[in-house]
Amino acid sequence: MQNEPMFQVQVDESEDTEWNDILRQKGVIPERPPSPTAQLEEALAEAIAKQHESRLEGKDISDLEELEDEEDEEFLELYKRKRLAEMAKLQEKSKFGEVYEINKPEYSKEITEASMGSTADTDDAGEANEEESSKSKTEGVYVFVHLALQSKLQSRVLSHMFRQLAPKFREIKFVEIKANRAIENYPEANCPTLLVYYKGDVIKNMITLLELGGNDTKIGDFEALMVKIGAVDDRDGRLLINQESEEALEAKKLTLQHKGIRSGINGKFNIGVGRNLADEDDDFFD
């Protein structure tokens, strides 16, 4: 018996047919690649879920109370407790609030030792003496130190920022010491010098403000440094960048409210825009 002639059949591998399913099972054609649409939908669903999980981040207690009718009561109560605990912890750590001007003999106590923070009590005295146990129970303090020379413009800029930031971030200690009192014959060209201590160690040092913007350094630049080294969380509502977004929304609302009453109000007044450092005090750079 002669073999019947064989014909080559063209198969569209992308088609979703019963025949193609049989061929895939037999290994004749490859499995269908995952649908881009399905992948996109999965990614979108994941993004929405994450957004939903973090929807309450950054809201204060009054904001949470306004959401009582919209959110699950049990979940909202748990989140309110979490925020209250965070606020209580921050309040407990908020013990500074000013710039401390010190002399060389006070350096170790006011800076190095202060950066070690406080150690939690323990029932086991022997355990408290163990190095690893001590480290794990110690809550460090970020101490920002300015080796100052007030005849230098950048030193005056840094002093001014210290005095703005200290009452704002009361859990961080801001210390200023005249450079030549800290280190005899300290080079003027190195001023200002910024040192950041945490748990007894220098974790950041900076000679002049060149890294932040030099003479034009702004509060936002310094806050970005605070976030970068871990002294402040990037979601902290006290940060200028986070406040500006809220102020921008408020400015837009005010502009819409006054539209038609006063022409050009948005052009004449810079509502919600950060103030220039030099504008805040005309005598500051004198």
Residues 171 and 101 in one domain: yes
The whole domain housing 112 covers 93-119+135-236
Q: What is the DSSP letter of 143?
A: E
Q: Which of 213, 177, 172, 215 is nearest to 193 (CA)?
A: 177
The pair phi, psi for residue 225, each rounded to 5°, is -65, -40
Question: d(Cα 226, Cα 242) in Å, to the nearest integer?
Answer: 14
Residues 228 and 247 in one domain: no
Q: Is residue 63 part of a domain?
A: no
- Tokens 């080559």 belong to which residue? 8
- Tokens 């450092």 belong to which residue? 277
What number of other Cβ atoms are within 10 A of residue 112's Cβ? 16
| pLDDT at site 277 | 42
For residue 167, cis peptide bond before it (omega within 30 degrees of 0): no
Residues 264 and 176 in one domain: no
Question: d(Cα 268, Cα 264) in Å, to the nearest integer?
Answer: 6
- Chosen domain end from 220, 236, 252: 236
Q: What is the mean pLDDT of each run of 10 residues along the chain (286 residues)?
A: 57 69 76 62 64 54 54 61 61 80 94 81 44 58 96 97 95 95 93 96 95 96 96 90 68 63 48 44 45
For residue 194 the two structure tokens come to: 């910024």
User: pLDDT tens-digit profile of 84-124?
Assistant: 665 555 565 578 999 999 999 999 999 999 999 865 443 44
| pLDDT at site 275 | 44
Residues 100 and 197 in one domain: yes
Residues 270 and 186 in one domain: no
Question: d(Cα 51, Cα 45) in Å, to the nearest integer?
Answer: 10
| pLDDT at site 174 | 97
Q: Which amino acid is at 45?
A: A
For residue 100 the two structure tokens come to: 């401390």
The pTM (predicted TM-score) of the whole model is 0.55
Number of domains in the chain: 2
Residues 218 and 99 in one domain: yes
Q: Is residue 157 part of a domain?
A: yes
| pLDDT at site 41 | 64
Residues 139 and 274 in one domain: no
| pLDDT at site 244 | 66
Q: Is residue 9 part of a domain?
A: no
Question: d(Cα 101, Cα 176) in Å, to the nearest integer?
Answer: 5
